[in-house]
Amino acid sequence: MPVSSYLALAAILFCIGLYGVLTKRNAVIVLFCIELMLNAVNINLVAFAKYGIGANVTGHIFSLFTITVAAAEVAVGIAILIALYRRRESVNVEDMNTLKR
């Protein structure tokens, strides 16, 4: 079944993204990793739209929305990161320690 390979790909991407979000120190990379996770979802959706149970075009529509929203989300993320960078001169997540753990 071809869908399983897509699913596996998506799962791997999702896990890589999650791993990156949790471990990476560079804030930009963290944002990339989030994007990776969201794109894993897109792969899933599109794969299901073609091969899923009751495949239909809804998956495509959903992924369009996902793309849009993810773009907005990451745009805001980077905007905040820039604001942060201008004050802190660093994109290292570990430097963000003003708020105590």
C-beta of 5: minimal distance to another protein in Å?
14
84 binds another protein (CB under 8 A): yes
Of 5, 23, 58, 90, the residue at the interface with another protein (CB under 8 A) is 58
Size of residue set near another protein by CB under 8 A: 55
The string over 12-25, giving b where at least 16 C-beta atoms fall within 10 Å of a residue's C-beta and e elsewhere, is ebbeebeebbeebe
Residues 13, 18: Cα–Cα separation, whole Å: 8
56 binds another protein (CB under 8 A): yes
Per-residue DSSP letter, 53: T
Complex with another protein: residue 8 or 71, whichever CB lies closer:
71
- For another protein, the binding residues (CB under 8 A) are 3, 10, 14, 17-18, 21, 27, 30-31, 34, 37-38, 40-41, 44-45, 47-48, 52-56, 58-59, 61-62, 64-88, 96, 98-99
